[in-house]
């Protein structure tokens, strides 16, 4: 859900405009109060002009509140969309890991140890979580590394990182292809 750059620029200028109007309104309202407090005489304004300026100041403040509410709403929508994408990606990554584990022929216990190792837990922590001995965890990690054809945890993790980059590159190629088709 990417926004059009021209749309983003319009929103930016609208925000600048509303903030500018609010600043002018705030200066106008504060000048009267500060003038009275500091004893600075201000030139008298005709009653009608004074009323128009106060109405404009109030409308400027209302516009600022409305625009602020709109921006807050949009940021909340963006946050929810990002959380939904993250949740979906977590599920997809978990499915990808499970498919890899199945291809390697990992047992359920080895798959669980592999997930914990990928998360960065140390052997002692994995053993404590699984309520097994450190020797069992070491044997399971060695079996995982052998089946995955890697020499350690870093290489195991790098297999999944490489997959993420490969999927990202494939998605970018697909997006570029769509743009080319639309342009044609």
Do 77 and 114 fall into the same domain?
no
Residues whose CB is less than 8 angstroms from the CB of residue 156 and which lie 6 or more positions away in sequence, other chains included: 114, 117, 118, 144, 145, 148, 150
pLDDT at 8: 75
pLDDT at 155: 92
Q: Which residues in the chain come in under a pLDDT of 50? A: 1
Q: Is residue 93 part of a domain?
A: no
pLDDT at 3: 62
Q: Is residue 59 part of a domain?
A: yes
Residue 46 dihedral angles phi and psi, to the nearest 5°: -60, 145
Q: Is residue 100 part of a domain?
A: no
Residues whose CB is less than 8 angstroms from the CB of residue 113 and which lie 6 or more positions away in sequence, other chains included: 126, 130, 137, 140, 141, 144
Q: Is residue 118 part of a domain?
A: yes
Distance CA 156, CA 152 (A): 6
pTM comes to: 0.56
Do 121 and 166 fall into the same domain?
yes
pLDDT at 167: 65
Domain region containing 65: 1-87
pLDDT at 33: 84
Q: Is residue 161 part of a domain?
A: yes
Domain closes at, from 87, 121, 153: 87
Domains identified in the chain, total number: 2
Q: Is residue 92 part of a domain?
A: no
pLDDT at 17: 83
């Amino acid at each position: 859900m990417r926004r059009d750059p021209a749309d983003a620029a319009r929103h930016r200028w609208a925000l600048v405009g509303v903030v500018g109007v609010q600043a002018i309104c705030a200066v106008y309202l504060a000048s009267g109060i500060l003038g009275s407090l500091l004893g600075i005489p201000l030139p008298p304004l005709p009653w009608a002009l004074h009323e128009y300026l106060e109405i404009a100041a109030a409308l400027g403040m209302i516009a600022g509140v409305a625009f602020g509410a709109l921006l807050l709403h949009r940021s909340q929508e963006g946050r929810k969309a990002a959380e939904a994408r993250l949740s979906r990606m977590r599920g997809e990554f978990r499915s990808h890991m499970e498919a890899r584990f199945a291809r390697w022929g990992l047992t359920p216990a080895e798959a669980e140890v592999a997930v914990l190792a990928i998360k960065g837990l140390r052997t002692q922590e994995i053993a404590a979580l699984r309520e097994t001995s450190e020797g069992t965890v070491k044997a399971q990690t060695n079996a995982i590394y052998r089946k995955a054809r890697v020499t350690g945890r870093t290489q195991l993790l790098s297999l999944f990182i490489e997959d993420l980059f490969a999927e990202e590159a494939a998605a970018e190629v697909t997006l570029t292809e769509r743009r080319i088709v639309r342009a044609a």
